[in-house]
């Protein structure tokens, strides 16, 4: 009742005011200005897409490796990466509408989209791009500088020897040339990473530390505009009505900072959340996968990542390839997948998981063959088996333990007496870094859709392989991996990667690939058009989703 | 009539009513809204309370089951499951070995025991559960079914046979077995209500998954009864209640409906869509079911159950309707009380006002004894006080006024008005004593002259003294001062003479020892019983009969007077008729010029020849008409007749001579007689000088200035004004001094007393002399004898009227006489001036001859000169008239008698030689004057002044005035003594 009264009163006042405004000359321009200024108020928050987020310290994507939602929705990159229908990686133009790569593969000439404006109305220019990359290299908290450290002069800039990125040459407002130190086919893929999102030079410089923390100063060219960030509660993003890509399909994003699985589940069941990542729910995820209620609203995508068991070649008897192979063959991976994830995933046989650019479907399956394993162990002189310490990070999730427990029991069958040792996280990390862990399990998710992101990370050089406590020893292979990076012919390069993959996993049994998981989302009844990007994330596809409002 | 009281009461009641009604109307809406809001709030509160209680209850169940389920999941070792072949993968299709089955069953057995152990602990701490169970999926194990504990009777939860999921009876309500329902649900949730083990239950199921596989369903049942108990006892208003609906809006609890009844059976006007909302918000849902209007609010629990609060609209509204009714009742009572109080208060307030009003009315009705008792100090008190003062004042004034009205201010005896009242009473009293009442009218004689002599103050004192005498003798309340010097009194017929005698006695010495004459008239009621005023009138009439007498008289009203009175009445009543029907005739009496014996004027006199009463004397009808103030009608009628007659005379070729008409004093009072006369005379085109107006001396008397003005007006218009009846009353010579009349008419009484001695003649002579000296014409009426005529001629009276020359005669008769040649000669108007000038010559006044020369000696000498007027025509001459001295002169000197015979100068020689005659002839011819000496007889020389005074324009006759200035051998003194 009271509201009614208030509304009526308000309407009256409004009406009077509007009459006043209409009748008074010359005030119309000011009215329209006012409207523009208060544009955000037009948005109806109930029409916003609601999703759950962990609250970030900062959304400065140059300084975080965790939170990229803002980067993906408020900013754009020069290029975007997407899988084609065949599952192959495709680099798509974004802010850069086109580019040419020099024959030697070192010079990239980019042509920016015309008439792209940041949400503050400032046009995008080549200098913004230059600023972005220079900031990425020079920002003290930057954690993504490796994206562009291949550019000529990056090191000098990073170290402070110069204040200018040598390899970045501006031709004019919209055109510029980037020279990289050596040809690197994944360079464009790197540029598609969230960390390479393009900043507005002027406002970002003016913002200083406020960039990424204060919505007012966090200005991008993307589909949404960050409007509000209420610590402990969430963030509000409204559709960028002037987005160069077109207006997003939903009016805005309502990102809630919630991390309690039970609360998230409650919220979703109450219809308060539009997109629910079942990963957030733990055991309760089962309740959405079974039963009839949510079947229609389930959305599954492959998760471009691989779960593996690392085997440290530098530790006896794991240096013996036969032992490693025995370990591979002793694991019944489908059962493992079923027991841990209810079979929701793919058994992997190499390094590159399903969905990754360069995945090799023809890779022979690593068989579950305990007898063969035993034989191999016997051949290696370990008829009585051997003792193995398997390390588990105390901070790790339940499934890691489960995986290892199951692996332990399976290895038990063939005589490998595994002992699961839970160690402190920091201890775990330092030991792993130093190549001291004998065996552990982990998963690697693709940063960008390129095999390099996998193979180089683990087997690219002795540092990398030691870093993961793999301690792969074949220098030749490692060399080839490094060389593969610069193979400019992609087919050639993939072929090389696939060959290397086969050598490392199938021949050298450097690790035990387990599986890649399927990722599940449940959507609210009002959400339509859910899509995921190549890596199975839906977070950079919010602009494609729409909310059916109740009124309609 | 609306009294102030009722007006104020009505206004106040209206005001109260209006305000009460507006307040009532406003409160009606406010209360209605408030009640509405309250009912919303209350029902929502009940809903939310119930909701909370239930929610808490459900939550505790949910928590119990979920805690258990979490442990049940965690406790399950997926490795074991995998090892015992429970976990099946797409690739591994090998069946479990019997060992594996056995091992798995064992594992599950112990697992279930553990879970049960936990669950029982949890369940014991959970209130209101009916059973708890874990039903292992038959796909995991065909032998191990889990556990099932259930409450039975009043015991605790007792172990029952585990429930075999593959061997369950499908529930009618769920459409499947509860297990399948739970599995199909795939997630924790409430299911129900459904009948399980012969009891309506509501179950919370948690499907247990491990490694993506359904292990079983963990659950707890609650009896619906508990839910019902939660809401059963809630009552809202009288018959309002709370019911529970499940998430599909089917009834879980409803006081009138069985469990699982459809929403439709509630006859809510809402669809199940409505219940998808969290609650009904701020508005109640109104609907009609089973002929009763109801309102409903609901809230939805987290498990989809709905708490619905329903109350009949009537009951919701009952409080405010009661309130409104009570307010209305109170309002009515208040209004009544107020009206009563207002009436009381206003009554109290207006009582003195009412008293005042009544008092005023009584006062208005001349009740001056009205009394008021109100003593308040307020405005009304002041008003009452003022009123009382006003009453006292008024009373005083009225008494005073009454006295003034009823009592004569001067004498303090009753006035006429009061007297009539008193007289009526007295008359009654006297009559009742068998006596005859008489009315006495008393007039003081000559008070006017007394006033003139001694002043009004003394006059008034006289009147006061006289009134005292009357009061003493008649009694204070039997007398009255009528007006001026007129008094009336009432007395007994047998005592009146006695009383009057005393009065007369006292009057004898009333004026400083001198007599005060009074005129008394008495009317005895025995004559005719008349009203007091009539009696008064008649007494006055009787008294007035003696008017003119200077000594005291007492006159009784007698039969004659009565008759006369009747005649008067007749006259007054019939005047108009008399005029119309010609009863009134105008008679004309000739007036003859003394100098030529010809009719020079006629007096018009009215005669009333009544068909009933015969010839009425003017002495009858004129006073009557005067008294009735109708005389002007008569007088104007007479004038009209005169004018008519003159018109006729003109037509007949007669000389038109002056006509005189009589005016009464009443004419001047009744109308503007001057103007009326002028109008009529002008209308006939008659010269004003031909109409003379006769006004009696008495007319002049009272309003002297007014009359002086009227006379002047007549004269200014050219009407001659005559003074009539000079010498009849208290004639004052002063009048003649003040007013200039054209003619003085001596009253006929002078002629009546012609023979009574010389005094009368002397008076007349002197009066004529005086008139001549004043330049006035004179007329004497009532002349019947020749010697009278001679006398009058001699003394210089210019006109004569009387039977000697002719009675008043109607015009017709005059005409007849003329035709018969019997009529008197009528003076040719052209000769009038001539004869008038002769007539005007005063033979006693030398100045008329001396033509204004102021010779003192001459004047002295000639004052008694013998004079005569001689008319000369051609050679003939004759005396017109002479004075006594001349006669004496003739007698003594020439020894001849004065004769008016015509003689021819040429007759005798001596006369031819006479110087005197010659001088006369000369003067006749030439005019002017001559003084001649002639020897008359022996040694006598007569010194004579001759002067022509006029020439007759018709006959050429000249009038010569002759004055004997000296006679040589005689002393002048001797002549002067001649009489």
Alpha helices in B407-445 (DSSP H): 416-432
Query: Which chain B residues contact residue A402 at CB under 8 A?
Result: 78-79
**Confidence grade of residue A302 (pLDDT, cut at 50, 70, 90):** confident
Query: Which chain B residues contact residue A291 at CB under 8 A?
Result: 183-187, 207
pLDDT digits (tens, 9 = 90+) for A460-507: 888 888 888 888 888 899 999 888 888 878 788 889 999 999 999 988
B398 and B416 fall within a common domain: no
Name B310's bridge partners: B241, B296
DSSP A40-80: GGG--GGGSEEEEEPPPS---TTS-SS--HHHHHH---SEE
CATH number of the domain within which B549 lies: 3.30.70.270
**Contact (Cβ atoms closer than 8 angstroms) between residue B20 and residue B334:** yes
Predicted local distance difference test score (pLDDT) of residue A28: 39
B373 and B491 fall within a common domain: no
B417 and B474 fall within a common domain: yes
pLDDT digits (tens, 9 = 90+) for A37-65: 444 456 788 888 888 888 888 888 888 77
CATH number of the domain within which B777 lies: 3.20.20.450
Please count the structural domains in chain B.
6
d(CA B880, CA B826): 18
Measured between CA atoms, the residue of chain B closest to residue A293 is B185
Q: Which of A3, A334, A339 faces B78 most closely, judged by CB atoms?
A: A339
Q: Collapsing DSSP states into helix, strand and coil, what is residue B534?
A: helix
Q: β-pairing, A546-547 with A386-393?
A: unpaired
Measured between CA atoms, the residue of chain A closest to residue B300 is A270
Predicted local distance difference test score (pLDDT) of residue B630: 85
Query: Which chain A residues contact residue B83 at CB under 8 A?
Result: 409
B674 and B587 fall within a common domain: yes
Measured between CA atoms, the residue of chain B closest to residue A3 is B282
Q: How far is B93 from chain A (nearest CA, A)?
A: 11
Contact A287 B282 (CB under 8 A): no
Q: What is the CATH number of domain A305-517?
A: 3.10.105.10
Q: Which of B81, B87, B184 faces A292 most closely, judged by CB atoms?
A: B184
Query: Which chain B residues contact residue A344 at CB under 8 A?
Result: 212
Quick one: CA dihedral A213, A217, A218, A224, positive or negative?
Answer: positive
* Count of alpha carbons within 13 angstroms of residue A410, beta-carbon side: 26
Query: Which chain A residues contact residue B89 at CB under 8 A?
Result: 334-335, 337-338, 343
B170 and B238 fall within a common domain: no
Query: Which chain A residues contact residue B209 at CB under 8 A?
Result: 283, 286-287, 290, 342
Quick check: B67 contacting A, CB < 8 Å?
Answer: no
Q: Is B21 within the bounds of a domain?
A: no
**Contact (Cβ atoms closer than 8 angstroms) between residue B374 and residue B358:** no
Most A CBs within 10 A among B38, B89, B282, hence the mutation to make, goes to B89
Q: Is B575 within the bounds of a domain?
A: no
Predicted local distance difference test score (pLDDT) of residue B912: 57
Full domain range(s) for residue B447: 409-555
d(CA A277, CA A300): 10
Measured between CA atoms, the residue of chain B closest to residue A270 is B302
pLDDT of A396 strictly over 80: no
Q: Which of B33, B89, B302 faces A343 most closely, judged by CB atoms?
A: B89
Q: Is B328 within the bounds of a domain?
A: no
B591 and B725 fall within a common domain: yes
Q: How far apart are the first and last CA of chain A?
A: 26
Main-chain phi, psi angles of B568, to 5 degrees: -55, -45
Query: Which chain B residues contact residue A341 at CB under 8 A?
Result: 211-212
DSSP A291-309: SSTTGGGEEEEE--EEEEE
Predicted local distance difference test score (pLDDT) of residue A175: 93
pLDDT digits (tens, 9 = 90+) for A313-353: 998 888 899 999 999 999 988 888 888 887 888 899 999 99
Quick check: B209 contacting A, CB < 8 Å?
Answer: yes
Q: Is B359 within the bounds of a domain?
A: no
Name B947's bridge partners: B929, B961
Quick check: B87 contacting A, CB < 8 Å?
Answer: yes
Quick check: B98 contacting A, CB < 8 Å?
Answer: no
Q: What is the mean pLDDT of each run of 10 residues along chain B (979 residues)?
A: 71 83 83 81 83 86 86 82 73 70 87 88 84 87 87 81 84 84 85 83 87 86 83 81 81 80 72 73 75 82 82 79 81 82 80 81 81 79 84 84 81 83 87 88 84 84 86 86 85 87 86 84 86 85 81 85 82 86 89 85 88 82 83 89 88 86 85 89 88 81 79 90 80 74 85 78 80 83 86 82 88 85 82 80 56 44 66 81 76 72 64 72 80 74 82 84 74 37
Most B CBs within 10 A among A367, A400, A406, A412, hence the mutation to make, goes to A406
**Confidence grade of residue A27 (pLDDT, cut at 50, 70, 90):** very low
Predicted local distance difference test score (pLDDT) of residue A394: 81
B731 and B798 fall within a common domain: yes
Residues of A with CB under 8 A from a CB of B: 1, 3, 270, 283, 286-294, 332, 334-344, 402, 405-406, 409
Token output for A62: 């140059």
Predicted local distance difference test score (pLDDT) of residue B729: 66
Predicted local distance difference test score (pLDDT) of residue B906: 61
Quick one: CA dihedral B92, A438, A382, A364, positive or negative?
Answer: positive
pLDDT of A25 strictly over 60: no
Predicted local distance difference test score (pLDDT) of residue B92: 54
pLDDT of A176 strictly over 90: yes
Predicted local distance difference test score (pLDDT) of residue A123: 92
Q: Is B683 within the bounds of a domain?
A: yes
Q: How far is A517 from chain B (nearest CA, A)?
A: 13
Main-chain phi, psi angles of A456, to 5 degrees: -70, -35
Q: Is B128 within the bounds of a domain?
A: yes
Q: Which of B37, B79, B92 faces A334 most closely, judged by CB atoms?
A: B92
* Cα-based distances in Å from B293 to B41, B289, B320: 19, 6, 16
Predicted local distance difference test score (pLDDT) of residue B970: 47
Which of A1-5, A156-160, A403-407, B677-681 is the least confident region?
A1-5
Q: Which of B37, B90, B207 faces A343 most closely, judged by CB atoms?
A: B90
Q: How far apart are the first and last CA of chain B?
A: 97
pLDDT of A306 strictly over 50: yes
Most B CBs within 10 A among A1, A286, A337, hence the mutation to make, goes to A286
C-alpha closest to that of A207 among A196, A218, A198: A218
Query: Which chain A residues contact residue B87 at CB under 8 A?
Result: 335, 338-339
What are the extents of the domains in chain A?
A: 61-207, 215-302+520-547, 305-517
The complex scores an ipTM of 0.75
Predicted local distance difference test score (pLDDT) of residue B269: 67
Predicted local distance difference test score (pLDDT) of residue B907: 62
Predicted local distance difference test score (pLDDT) of residue B908: 60
* Cα A399-A404-A409 angle, rounded to 5 deg: 125
DSSP assignment, residue A248?
A: -
**Listed residues B379, B403, B427: the one ending a domain:** B403
Measured between CA atoms, the residue of chain A closest to residue B187 is A287
B678 and B742 fall within a common domain: yes
Contact A335 B82 (CB under 8 A): yes
> Tokens 């969230």 label which residue?
A194
Q: H helices then E strands: how many in chain A?
A: 18, 20
Contact A289 B186 (CB under 8 A): yes
pLDDT of A34 strictly over 50: no
pLDDT of A111 strictly over 90: yes
CATH number of the domain within which B209 lies: 3.30.450
Quick check: B278 contacting A, CB < 8 Å?
Answer: no
pLDDT digits (tens, 9 = 90+) for A344-395: 888 999 999 988 888 888 889 899 888 999 999 999 888 888 999 999 888 7
CATH of A215-302+520-547, one of 3.40.190.10, 2.30.130.10, 3.40.605.10, 1.20.1260.10: 3.40.190.10
Predicted local distance difference test score (pLDDT) of residue A317: 87
Average pLDDT of the residues in A221-239: 90
Q: How far is B155 from chain A (nearest CA, A)?
A: 35
Q: Is B292 within the bounds of a domain?
A: yes
B813 and B831 fall within a common domain: yes
Q: Which CATH superfamily groups domain A61-207?
A: Dipeptide-binding Protein; Domain 1 (3.90.76.10)
Q: How far is A360 from chain B (nearest CA, A)?
A: 20
B487 and B608 fall within a common domain: no
Token output for A301: 């995508």
Q: Which of A292, A293, A344 faces B212 most closely, judged by CB atoms?
A: A344
**Listed residues B220, B237, B272: the one ending a domain:** B220
B770 and B679 fall within a common domain: yes
Q: Which of B87, B89, B186 faces A287 most closely, judged by CB atoms?
A: B186
B748 and B600 fall within a common domain: yes
Contact B211 A338 (CB under 8 A): yes
Contact A342 B73 (CB under 8 A): no
**Listed residues B351, B384, B403: the one ending a domain:** B403
Contact B209 A342 (CB under 8 A): yes
- Mean predicted lDDT score pLDDT of chain A: 83
Most A CBs within 10 A among B87, B180, B210, B214, hence the mutation to make, goes to B87
Q: Is B414 within the bounds of a domain?
A: yes
C-alpha closest to that of B220 among B172, B188, B256, B185: B188
Q: Which of A292, A293, A340 faces B211 most closely, judged by CB atoms?
A: A340
């Amino acid at each position: 009742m009271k509201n009614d009264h208030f509304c009526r009163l308000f309407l009256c006042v409004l009406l009077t005011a509007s009459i006043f405004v209409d009748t008074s000359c010359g005030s119309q321009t000011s009215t329209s200005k006012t409207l523009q200024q208060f544009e955000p108020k037009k948005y109806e928050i109930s029409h916003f897409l609601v999703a759950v987020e962990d609250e970030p310290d900062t959304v400065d994507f140059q300084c975080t490796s965790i939170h990229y939602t803002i980067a993906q929705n408020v900013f754009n990159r020069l290029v975007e990466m997407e899988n084609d229908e065949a599952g192959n990686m495709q680099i798509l133009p974004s802010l850069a509408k086109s580019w040419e790569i020099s024959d030697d593969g070192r010079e990239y000439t980019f042509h920016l989209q015309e008439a792209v404006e940041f949400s503050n109305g400032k046009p995008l220019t080549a200098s913004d791009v230059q600023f972005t990359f220079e900031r990425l290299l020079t920002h003290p908290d930057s954690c993504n500088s490796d994206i562009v450290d291949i550019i000529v002069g990056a090191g000098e800039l990073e170290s402070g020897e110069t204040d200018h990125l040598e390899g970045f040459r501006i031709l004019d407002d919209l055109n510029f040339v980037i020279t990289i130190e050596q040809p690197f086919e994944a360079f464009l893929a790197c540029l598609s990473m969230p960390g390479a999102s393009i900043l507005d030079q002027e406002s970002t410089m003016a913002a200083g530390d406020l960039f990424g923390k204060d919505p007012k100063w966090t200005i991008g060219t993307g589909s949404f505009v960050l409007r509000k960030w209420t610590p402990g509660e969430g963030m509000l993003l409204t559709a960028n009505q002037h987005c160069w890509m077109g207006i997003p399909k939903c009016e805005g994003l309502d990102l809630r900072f919630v991390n309690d699985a039970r609360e998230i589940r409650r919220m979703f069941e109450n219809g308060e959340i539009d997109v629910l990542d079942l990963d957030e729910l733990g055991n309760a995820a089962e309740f959405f996968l079974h039963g009839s209620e949510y079947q229609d609203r389930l959305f599954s995508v492959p998760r471009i990542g691989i779960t593996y068991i690392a085997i440290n070649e530098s530790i006896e008897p794991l240096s013996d390839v036969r032992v490693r192979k025995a370990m591979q063959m002793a694991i019944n991976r489908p059962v493992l997948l079923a027991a841990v994830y209810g079979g929701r995933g793919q058994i992997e046989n190499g390094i590159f998981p399903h969905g990754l650019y360069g995945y090799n479907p023809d890779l022979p399956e690593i068989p579950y063959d305990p007898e063969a394993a035993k034989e191999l162990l016997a051949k290696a002189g370990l008829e009585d088996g051997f003792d193995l310490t398997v390390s588990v990070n105390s901070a790790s999730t339940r499934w890691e333990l489960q995986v290892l427990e199951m692996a332990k029991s399976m290895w038990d069958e063939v005589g490998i007496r595994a002992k699961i040792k839970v160690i402190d996280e920091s201890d775990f990390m330092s030991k792993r870094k130093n190549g001291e862990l004998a065996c552990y399990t982990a998963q690697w998710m693709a940063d960008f859709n390129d095999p390099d992101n996998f193979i180089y990370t683990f087997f690219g050089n002795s540092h990398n392989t030691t870093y993961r406590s793999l301690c792969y020893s074949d220098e030749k292979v490692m060399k080839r991996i490094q060389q593969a990076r610069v193979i400019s012919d992609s087919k050639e390069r993939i072929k090389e990667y696939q060959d290397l993959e086969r050598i490392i996993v199938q021949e050298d049994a450097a690790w035990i690939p387990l599986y890649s998981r399927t990722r599940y989302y449940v959507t609210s009844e009002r959400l339509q058009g859910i899509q995921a990007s190549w890596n199975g994330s839906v977070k950079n596809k919010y602009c494609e989703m729409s909310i059916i409002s109740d009124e309609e | 009539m609306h009294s102030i009281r009722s007006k104020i009461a009505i206004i106040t009641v209206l005001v109260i009513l209006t305000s009460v009604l507006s307040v009532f109307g406003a409160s009606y809406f406010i209360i209605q809204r408030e009640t509405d809001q309250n009912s919303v709030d209350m029902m929502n509160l009940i809903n939310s309370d119930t909701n909370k209680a239930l929610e808490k209850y459900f939550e505790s169940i949910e928590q119990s089951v979920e805690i258990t389920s979490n442990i049940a999941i965690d406790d399950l070792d997926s490795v074991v499951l995998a090892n015992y072949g429970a976990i099946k993968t797409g690739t591994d299709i090998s069946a479990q070995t019997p060992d594996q089955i056995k091992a798995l069953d064992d594992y599950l057995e112990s697992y279930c025991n553990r879970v049960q152990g936990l669950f029982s602990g949890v369940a014991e701490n959970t209130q209101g559960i009916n059973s708890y169970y874990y039903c292992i999926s038959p796909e995991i194990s065909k032998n191990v079914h889990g556990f099932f504990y259930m409450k039975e009777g009043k015991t605790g939860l007792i172990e029952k046979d585990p429930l075999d999921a593959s061997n369950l009876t499908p529930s009618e309500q769920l459409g499947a077995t509860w297990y399948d329902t739970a599995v199909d649900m795939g997630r924790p949730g409430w299911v129900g209500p459904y009948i399980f083990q012969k009891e309506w239950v509501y179950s919370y199921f948690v499907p247990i998954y491990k490694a993506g596989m359904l292990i079983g369903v963990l659950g707890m049942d609650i009896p619906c009864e508990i839910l019902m108990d939660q809401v059963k006892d809630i009552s809202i208003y009288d018959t309002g209640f709370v019911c529970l609906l499940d998430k599909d809006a089917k009834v879980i609890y409803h006081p009138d409906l069985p469990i699982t009844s459809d929403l439709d059976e509630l006859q809510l006007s809402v669809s199940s869509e409505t219940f998808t909302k969290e609650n009904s918000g701020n508005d109640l849902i109104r609907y009609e079911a089973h002929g009763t209007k109801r309102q409903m609010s609901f809230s939805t629990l987290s498990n989809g159950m709905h708490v619905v609060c329903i109350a009949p609209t009537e009951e919701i509204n009952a409080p405010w309707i009661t309130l409104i009714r009570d307010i209305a009742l109170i309002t009515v009572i208040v209004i009544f009380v107020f009206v009563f109080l207002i009436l009381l208060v206003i009554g109290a307030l207006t009582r003195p006002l009412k008293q005042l009003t009544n008092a005023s009315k009584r006062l208005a009705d001349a009740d001056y004894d009205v009394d008021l008792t109100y003593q308040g100090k307020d405005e009304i008190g002041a008003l009452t006080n003022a009123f009382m003062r006003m009453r006292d004042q008024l009373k005083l004034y009225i008494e005073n006024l009454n006295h003034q009205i009823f009592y004569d201010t001067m004498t303090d005896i009753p006035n006429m008005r009061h007297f009539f009242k008193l007289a009526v009473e007295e008359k009654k009293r006297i009559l009742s004593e068998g006596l005859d009442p008489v009315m006495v009218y008393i007039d003081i004689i000559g008070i006017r002259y007394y006033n003139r002599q001694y002043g009004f103050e003394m006059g008034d004192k006289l009147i006061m003294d006289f009134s005292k005498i009357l009061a003493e003798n008649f009694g204070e309340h039997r007398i009255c001062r009528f007006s001026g010097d007129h008094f009336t009194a009432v007395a007994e017929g047998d005592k009146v003479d006695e009383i009057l005698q005393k009065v007369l006695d006292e009057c004898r010495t009333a004026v400083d020892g001198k007599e005060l004459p009074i005129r008394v008239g008495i009317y005895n009621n025995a004559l005719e019983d008349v009203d007091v005023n009539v009696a008064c009138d008649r007494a006055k009439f009787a008294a007035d009969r003696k008017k003119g007498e200077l000594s005291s008289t007492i006159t009784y009203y007698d039969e004659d007077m009565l008759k006369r009175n009747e005649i008067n009445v007749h006259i007054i009543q019939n005047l108009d008729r008399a005029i119309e029907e010609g009863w009134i005739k105008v008679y004309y009496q000739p007036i003859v010029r003394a100098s030529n014996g010809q009719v020079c004027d006629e007096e018009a006199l009215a005669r009333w020849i009544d068909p009933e009463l015969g010839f009425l004397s003017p002495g009858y009808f004129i006073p009557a008409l005067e008294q009735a103030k109708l005389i002007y009608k008569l007088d104007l009628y007479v004038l009209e007749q005169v004018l008519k007659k003159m018109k006729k005379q003109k037509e007949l070729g007669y000389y038109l001579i002056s006509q005189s008409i009589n005016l009464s004093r009443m004419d001047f009072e009744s109308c503007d007689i001057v103007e009326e006369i002028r109008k009529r005379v002008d209308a006939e085109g008659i010269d004003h000088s031909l109409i003379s107006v006769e006004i009696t001396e008495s007319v002049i008397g009272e309003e002297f200035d007014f009359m002086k003005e009227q006379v002047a007006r007549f004269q200014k218009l050219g009407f001659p004004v005559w003074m009539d009846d000079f010498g009849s009353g208290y004639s004052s010579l002063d009048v003649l001094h003040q007013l200039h009349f054209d003619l003085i008419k001596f009253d006929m009484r002078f002629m009546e007393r012609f023979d009574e001695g010389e005094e009368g003649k002397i008076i007349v002579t002197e009066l004529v002399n005086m008139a001549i000296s004043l330049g006035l014409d004179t007329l004497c009426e009532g002349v019947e004898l020749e010697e009278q005529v001679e006398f009058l001629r001699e003394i210089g009276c210019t006109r004569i009227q009387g039977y000697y020359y002719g009675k008043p005669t109607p015009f017709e008769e005059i005409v007849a006489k003329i035709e018969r040649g019997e009529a008197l000669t009528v003076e040719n108007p052209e000769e009038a001036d001539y004869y008038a000038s002769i007539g005007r010559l005063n033979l006693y006044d030398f100045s008329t001859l001396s033509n204004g020369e102021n010779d003192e000696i001459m004047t002295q000498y000639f004052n008694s000169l013998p004079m005569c007027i001689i008319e000369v025509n051609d050679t003939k001459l004759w005396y017109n008239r002479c004075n006594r001295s001349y006669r004496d002169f003739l007698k003594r000197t020439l020894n001849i008698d004065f004769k008016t015979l015509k003689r021819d100068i040429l007759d005798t020689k001596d006369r031819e030689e006479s110087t005197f005659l010659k001088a006369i002839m000369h003067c006749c011819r030439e005019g002017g004057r001559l003084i001649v000496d002639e020897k008359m007889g022996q040694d006598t020389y007569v010194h004579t002044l001759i002067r022509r005074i006029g020439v007759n324009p018709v006959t050429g006759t000249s009038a010569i005035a002759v004055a004997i200035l000296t006679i040589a051998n005689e002393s002048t003194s001797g002549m002067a003594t001649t009489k």
